[in-house]
Amino acid sequence: MNWVQKNTKYIALCALTILMALTRSDHFGSAISLPDASLAVFYLAGIFTGGVMSLGILLAEAALLDYVAITHWNVSDYCISPAYIFLIPTYATVFLAGHWSKKYTSFKTGDVSIQLVLLFASATIAFFISNGSFYWLSGKFPDLSIVEYAQRVAKYYPAYVSSTLIYSCSILLATKTFNMLNKEKETPEVFS
């Protein structure tokens, strides 16, 4: 067994921390930045690392990146409120979905379908935890009606979930292809 195969969890965690660091500054992306990959990072960490320690490391990184962005890069602190603590269950939701879906590693329709369902469902639940807690606890929307909330959900939900799906599916497709090609050479899977 070579060094890479022995250390795949650490390599994956390092790659995911870099992806989050490169994309965390803008939720939906812009002409000069990629959309935030944080949800995808937590989902993929559940698959590739699976350990509670990696969840803690990524949560600490997210908080540190937010702190640095607000204090040094002039990013607005608009989203910082008592609801910020709800990012823990938000990210834990997609991390656990990744952890549950890691056994579905093949290109078989059933395996791919289960991973997609878990990814989509967990990203949707994560959206409602994050978004709902912000509207409920931030104090910025004291008179928000259900209709107004539904209109805001309709505005932000597609971008929130689609970037998560694009990042996650792209990386899963690449790793599944890599593993399939390695199996043809009769070598162990790198990310199993």
d(CA 99, CA 51): 9
Q: Give the percent of the chain with pLDDT over 90.
A: 53
> Where does the pLDDT of residue 87 fall: very low under 50, low under 70, confident under 90, or very high at 90 and above?
very high
d(CA 170, CA 32): 21
User: Is the model's pLDDT at 186 over the cut of 60?
Assistant: no
**How much is the average pLDDT of 162-188?**
83
pLDDT digits (tens, 9 = 90+) for 116-142: 999 999 999 999 999 999 988 888 888
Stretch (H or E) spanning 132:
helix 109-137
> Where does the pLDDT of residue 107 fall: very low under 50, low under 70, confident under 90, or very high at 90 and above?
confident
Q: Give the burial string for 160-174 (b: 16+ CB within 10 Å, else e).
A: bbebbbebbeebbee
Contact 37, 44 (CB under 8 A): no
Contact 79, 152 (CB under 8 A): no
Of 9-23, 61-75, 178-192, the one with minimum mean pLDDT is 178-192
Contact 16, 41 (CB under 8 A): yes
What's the pLDDT at 31? 44
Domain regions of the chain by residue span: 3-184
- Reported pTM: 0.88
